[in-house]
Structure 1
């Protein structure tokens, strides 16, 4: 694919090529994400000022920005140096004052001679019962009324950039917008009533009323769709490339899977059965699998994953399951060991802790297929780890692993199938933005026997009652978690909070029954504390959020989350899922510091009302916005300039199916619409995608 098409050159030239933009202004525009004229096109006004001409100010509700024709009256120069210069003016029904500071000599006498007619536009306020317009934004002769915009767009600004400058720079850029071929499906465009690209940009920068600023205004919606379409085309190209990669067909005879299913005390849910069928079908196909398994806390992802691993073994190969931490890897190992015994399949674990002879023995067994299924941390990435015939790699908790690591894992075997598991229910729009290159299986049912968890909101001034509640649970042989608040970003302050809570609970409940685990501990101490709790030696575990993902202690039936209002909803939901795993009725106590803000209470109420992670995630997205929800720095979710993922999830879905359809009929984008789509990719800076397009 050649470089950027010539038709786009003017939009990607230096900012200084725009009239009125010098090197200093260009530097000042950078914080707005503006480094080329093209970026100004997508920096849209966020509000507007109505400057329609009024007959008079008489009935206006002040303060307000108003435009009116006036006759200039008496001038009152300032009495003292630096005072206000005032001019009395009259419109058709009332009078008011124009006020100027730092007036020089007789400048205003010359500009606004007594008796002349002008149109003035600016903010009018009452001062000592007199209406005043201080430093009008516009003063023009009546015959030049059209110089004042009827509705003036208001742009986002940054240090050293004024509205006037933004207005001029965007107007200069609009003269460069070329007529481009259409990349949107014609029926989609007609049905939505969208303008062509060039018209859309011009309309978006020339709003006539507040309605034109809404995300649903046709011009804006079209530009949002263009951004989403370019992003989804990139993901669809990546997906198509993955799919073109030769995979290996892994077809098992179900003998191991059947043994495990026969031994289960319950039937798998419909959602589990469906997911297993989708995954084994992908594995049997000659293309590489790239699938996301999304399931709420306790939806039974582990069983689905194990079935997939067994299918790989039945087909004569090996499988690996990777977890982000050693605690989780060990836990997966403990959960899977009895199932592997039942199937009669050799399962082993490899972490950074394996050293010397033990490690060498495991590596030798891997290389000769003595080990069929390996559970591990990212230690399995190391160069000396070689499989005999790796067919399936499963990654647990995607957000800790980048796309790059997914690929590295795939290189450990020949055309390895990849399955990513996440316990974080992701709202549909974000899942499409982040994992649009993958196929998705969703587990949306809870396996039988999972207990409902009672959730209660408790103010922190009742903390003593809460501690007594834990004492009563201990007397019945039950265990509890106590999660400490997220203080600031620094781990040190989280640590102090946890240490203090640990000391206090130990003093109240007794030595030896309270454990502590936090992120700053050496891994072996952390594991020892977790294991003591898993074995039931400690009854209460004080923890920072290290326990949020996957830790399984069926005997724990209470979780206390301190300063719950400082956590995100999705994270609270994850934490709550640590209880309700055994036979006993379980409780989650959300301790909050009074007074709670209205939105803080609303968020915690959502948690009390539902245990459905998908509902919670959607609510969290609406209330907090994309960036906060997943910590944008490491989320892999793209930043859009016009599109709004929270409000335009539906558009993202249309863009995804449109992009996939276009590539299905025109894989190398060589039709007229395909060529237009290539221009779109360049326009949206999707160089990544452009590299993926195979030439010819």
Structure 2
């Protein structure tokens, strides 16, 4: 029997109305009901009072000691208090609006109480109670599952419905994991896991059930990813570029610096992909300043020398102009034509650029969203690189990809993502990581100071400016807010303009037009502006090696990864750079954030700590994260299991036997249901 085919209405005790209520929870079949796992348990095991924490929910057993007292107040509201002897200690048990049980509380009666403990008063506020000597169903000594419920569905009703399904149909739960994996990890059976996760006798049974189900969730997800990649890699639908290794080596040797070991490793991975007949789909992540642009340049060089064109899409015009200048400088002696395509080109410039691209006179196009306009036609697009990929929607990236015949794709991000999340969120991509900064880079010195040290900070800005350097000053808001007591960019700009009459103080924020923003950044790049007051629009911006000071007002208003991105705007030149975080942290979380920033410059460590504080959904931003939602698995606590699951799934789909052997049929059926054979794994 396939429980997915059994409508929930056919479960005993589930009528038409309850079936509709369950549908609102996403439960439509008997199988859905079995897979509606609890998110925690209520522990009804009897505890000793010793060691119980204040405010903790506990279950205790004692004897009624004395006469219960009832106080009535308000309309039909009551407070019932009764002394109970527990572990030779007399405590007070309090019930609200349960005055009708007064007559049952006779002295000497054994009673089990569950509720919130108040240590100072030696008092328990009772939510549930039982009289063990009077028989009947008892929860004492059990773990009761707690589910997400809504509307008319109650915890007790749902518990009963799931027990009913387990009793009637539990034997039809089929094993899906291969026997070798069950044996390797000593998992309990799937049938037993489904039973125990809903009805564990103790924490050990619950742990065994959770361990099995967490692995299965992560393994099946990774199986989708790996099968999708295997099926698509099997098709020779990409471009096998005849990479000239000697020419690439000569180009790398011509650079004015030596590649780091990380850069060499990543370049080798990319060149290997370019030679294959399937389309590359690789994520390149690296800390701010780790040299992703150079890696992109080597990849573009290899593709151009192999007779194809390359495209680099970036989020802003000024960044596009910067990349164009950098690439032209690196390719100066190789006759490689680099064309800029942005929205601010004149009509004539645009016509000339489009013609050059279409005729193949242009080797590399650097641009913004203008690259995905309908009239942009490539002669032979071989490689698409997107920088700061989270700034572009999935559709925008796929439009650029469709400009060629399945070109290779390299996606770059300066937001370090912990490996666990990278292999989950980007499971259908290969992940390359730049783990070190180029030699000669001096670590940025970071300090956290209170607001009353602002005068000293201003003196430091003056000192850096006097030495010919430049400074960023970041504010969380554009203008004054009635609701938030934080510094705003417009006021700070006015204050600093007054404070530094001999310096040029610029202003940059999101309400300015693109042209105005580009103008301000160009002036800052040319050192015509010495102090730039800005909101976070500067977070991913132009490379200004002369900027050595980053000052962030109200730093507790920003997340850790955002602060790290801001800090990465400085430290790009030969001079020592500094980051000053101005804040008066009022809670432990804020203090911890600032402490992390002052202790490390490692973006991956910062990302890990940020993830701990904010959780995966907020870390990525819920809308564009692409993160799957698991029923039981938790990406933070189960990251080791995820690594094993990914490795196991990859090995399995690489075996020809997986696609034919009878014992893997349940997994192939799963992939069929998930439409992996006909679509993308997230579709």
For the criterion TM > 0.5, the same-fold answer is yes
Q: Which has the higher contact order (CA 8 A, sep 6+)?
A: 1
| Structure 2 match to 1:617 | 607
Stretch of structure 1 that moved more, 241-250 or 417-426: 241-250
Paired residue for 1:566, among 557, 570, 578?
Answer: 557
SS at match of 2:269: helix
SS at match of 1:574: helix
Paired residue for 1:321, among 302, 312, 320?
Answer: 312
2:176 paired with 1:183: yes
2:142 paired with 1:150: yes
Aligned-residue CA RMSD in angstroms? 3.9
| Structure 2 match to 1:193 | 186
Q: Distance in 2 between matches of 1:167 and 1:653?
A: 33
| Structure 1 match to 2:372 | 381
C-alpha contact (below 8 Å) 1:182/1:673 kept by paired residues: no
Q: Distance in 2 between matches of 1:59 and 1:436?
A: 45
2:422 paired with 1:431: yes
Paired residue for 2:627, among 637, 641, 646?
Answer: 637
Q: For 1:517-536, list aligned pairs within 5 A.
A: 517-536=508-527
Q: Distance in 2 between matches of 1:69 and 1:425?
A: 55
C-alpha contact (below 8 Å) 1:46/1:156 kept by paired residues: no
C-alpha contact (below 8 Å) 1:71/1:118 kept by paired residues: yes
Compared CA separation, residues 179 and 328, structure 1 to 2 (3 A): farther
Stretch of structure 1 that moved more, 449-458 or 386-395: 449-458
Paired residue for 2:42, among 45, 48, 71?
Answer: 48
- The one-character-per-residue Cα deviations of 1:612-662 (angstroms, maximum 9, x if unpaired) are 222222222223321221222221112222111111111111111222222
Compared CA separation, residues 123 and 667, structure 1 to 2 (3 A): same
| Structure 2 match to 1:168 | 160
5+ long unaligned stretches in structure 1: none
| Structure 1 match to 2:329 | 338
Q: Distance in 2 between matches of 1:275 and 1:316?
A: 22
Paired residue for 2:2, among 3, 6, 9?
Answer: 6
Q: Distance in 2 between matches of 1:196 and 1:689?
A: 26
Paired residue for 2:234, among 236, 244, 247?
Answer: 244
Q: For 1:395-434, list aligned pairs within 5 A.
A: 395-434=386-425
Deviation of 1:204 after TM superposition, in Å, equals 1.5
Deviation of 1:156 after TM superposition, in Å, equals 4.5
| Structure 2 match to 1:555 | 546
2:642 paired with 1:646: no
Q: Distance in 1 between matches of 2:70 and 2:287?
A: 73
Stretch of structure 1 that moved more, 528-537 or 560-569: 560-569
SS at match of 2:635: coil
C-alpha contact (below 8 Å) 1:98/1:135 kept by paired residues: no
Deviation of 1:189 after TM superposition, in Å, equals 2.6
Compared CA separation, residues 331 and 667, structure 1 to 2 (3 A): farther
Deviation of 1:462 after TM superposition, in Å, equals 1.0
Deviation of 1:71 after TM superposition, in Å, equals 8.5
C-alpha contact (below 8 Å) 1:256/1:343 kept by paired residues: no
Deviation of 1:464 after TM superposition, in Å, equals 1.7
SS at match of 1:689: coil
Paired residue for 1:588, among 576, 579, 583?
Answer: 579
Q: Distance in 2 between matches of 1:62 and 1:274?
A: 54
Q: Distance in 1 between matches of 2:146 and 2:384?
A: 51
2:596 paired with 1:602: no
Compared CA separation, residues 52 and 89, structure 1 to 2 (3 A): closer
Paired residue for 2:357, among 363, 366, 375?
Answer: 366
2:647 paired with 1:657: yes
Q: Distance in 1 between matches of 2:119 and 2:518?
A: 70
Aligned residues: 672
Q: Distance in 1 between matches of 2:586 and 2:107?
A: 60
SS at match of 2:333: helix
| Structure 2 match to 1:219 | 209
Compared CA separation, residues 358 and 222, structure 1 to 2 (3 A): same
Compared CA separation, residues 666 and 169, structure 1 to 2 (3 A): farther
Q: For 1:289-308, list aligned pairs within 5 A.
A: 289-308=280-299
Paired residue for 1:627, among 617, 642, 656?
Answer: 617
SS at match of 1:573: helix
SS at match of 2:578: strand
- The one-character-per-residue Cα deviations of 1:135-170 (angstroms, maximum 9, x if unpaired) are 744446544365656333344455665432342243
C-alpha contact (below 8 Å) 2:142/2:202 kept by paired residues: no
Deviation of 1:93 after TM superposition, in Å, equals 7.9
Stretch of structure 1 that moved more, 130-139 or 400-409: 130-139
Deviation of 1:480 after TM superposition, in Å, equals 0.7
Deviation of 1:39 after TM superposition, in Å, equals 5.9
SS at match of 2:488: helix
SS at match of 1:190: helix
Q: Distance in 2 between matches of 1:309 and 1:126?
A: 67
Deviation of 1:588 after TM superposition, in Å, equals 1.0
Stretch of structure 1 that moved more, 223-232 or 93-102: 93-102
Compared CA separation, residues 103 and 230, structure 1 to 2 (3 A): same
| Structure 2 match to 1:515 | 506
Compared CA separation, residues 73 and 630, structure 1 to 2 (3 A): same
C-alpha contact (below 8 Å) 2:652/2:658 kept by paired residues: no
Deviation of 1:556 after TM superposition, in Å, equals 0.5
- The one-character-per-residue Cα deviations of 1:441-461 (angstroms, maximum 9, x if unpaired) are 221122122222111111122
C-alpha contact (below 8 Å) 1:71/1:91 kept by paired residues: no
2:9 paired with 1:19: no
Q: Distance in 2 between matches of 1:58 and 1:661?
A: 51
| Structure 2 match to 1:675 | 665
Q: Distance in 2 between matches of 1:382 and 1:633?
A: 25
C-alpha contact (below 8 Å) 2:54/2:119 kept by paired residues: no
SS at match of 1:634: coil
SS at match of 2:340: strand
Deviation of 1:208 after TM superposition, in Å, equals 3.3
Q: Distance in 1 between matches of 2:118 and 2:582?
A: 49
TM-score (norm 1): 0.85
Stretch of structure 1 that moved more, 236-245 or 70-79: 70-79
| Structure 2 match to 1:687 | 674
Deviation of 1:284 after TM superposition, in Å, equals 1.0
C-alpha contact (below 8 Å) 1:515/1:541 kept by paired residues: yes
C-alpha contact (below 8 Å) 1:45/1:155 kept by paired residues: yes
